[in-house]
Amino acid sequence: MENHSLSKIDFDPKINFIFVRNLPNRNIRSMSYSVFTDEQQQAARFAKAMGHPVRMYVLELLNKQSCCYSGDLSDILPIAKSTLSQHLKELKDAGLIQGEIEAPKVKYCINKENWAKAQQLFKNFLDY
């Protein structure tokens, strides 16, 4: 019979998160995350950024071709330019893509280093 206990993880969410909720200064939220590894936090940032179909599409497109201009993306996707801009910002803030201004357009490319890091983090997580 398989053992499904969580004995490897010494973590009590009630202690960590109740502590943060009761603090008068909520800017100290990062204290509760000290129980998570850097890899877990980075994987979560990447996953959050990838958590929308438009962003997944953009990542697939940029992964297939080296780069793409924002204007070309807005021609392909049936969403407002401002909405696309927000999605690109999320991906850029997470470090999955990078943008380079070539006036009047912005050229977006996969951040190859962080893309490889994301792949490895997710592989490690899924293989665990």
Sort strands 97-102 and 105-110 into parallel, antiparallel or unpaired: antiparallel
Tens of pLDDT, residue by residue over 85-99, are 999 999 999 999 999
- pTM to 2 decimal places: 0.73
Share of the chain above pLDDT 90, in %: 68
What are residue 78's phi and psi, to 5 degrees? -85, 50
Domains of the chain as residue ranges with CATH: 37-127 (1.10.10.10)
Task: Please report, in angstroms and rounded to a whole number, the separation of the first and last CA atoms in the chain.
Answer: 19
Measured distance CA(48)–CA(91) in Å, rounded: 9
